[in-house]
Structure 1
């Protein structure tokens, strides 16, 4: 599997893991203190080949994802679950299996295109949909959001961020309800 876009990762070990799993070029942010020169390279990469952000499923990784997204509009996003990225020494892309990385890159999300080939005109999700689905203000909301994020390919997030990602990646009501049905079948 060769990836045309340049993949933004956090460090050298992440680059090694990604290149072991797929044919791809990477840009390393060097951690959560993303410098101006790195952001300029990401802007150039986005203009020339496109960018996929694949950061660790933790707070610093989310901070990098947000920083890059705000500075470089139109980036695509790939997400690993915490379980897929768990290693003996913590959580990170570098601990993910080749298969998990390939799966994340196959489910890449773009804020510019409706997902699933469905028309953009389908009614968008509302905050009340998350409330009704037990994804916020519910005893099991965190685990339900985690599984929904996994099924939708948008990663784990708190309630507010989950809602924002659903809207940003244009998760359709059909996709949302199908994932919710799966979560309900699993008894979460």
Structure 2
């Protein structure tokens, strides 16, 4: 009985954390006022999955960085910035470690993509078939062609645009100044259902 009550409380926390405003919470999306993308915020203790059949973006950069959990633990991450993005057949999922509960969000189906502006992602893994237009590899992270920039002396790359098919991503954080989710569906899961 106590275990069920604890699971219910945790499930409630996950659901409340994920109620979208743009789409909110450290485990999914956090709105950022006025497009001021490089904002520090505390991440949850769990990574989450993001999948899409296709991502189309403009204004891309990527460099090394870190994210910090509430307990002060720092995690290395690859920081990616996209000025405008379209995500087709978007799926996001997270499971609560050690508990039979999770959360899954889908949007952007039926040919109407989810869209985001000033998006920044702190990721640990990325898979897919990518095409970059006017890419520059090996630029200094403090000089990338996006508003958000990395630290001077760090390796980075940027491109005018990016397209990734069959996107599969594991991330600590995602934030955007605006996130529009066409056909949003949010559901609690058994903790085993994930995007991939």
Q: TM-score, normalised by structure 1?
A: 0.25
| Higher strand proportion | 2
| Higher helix proportion | 1
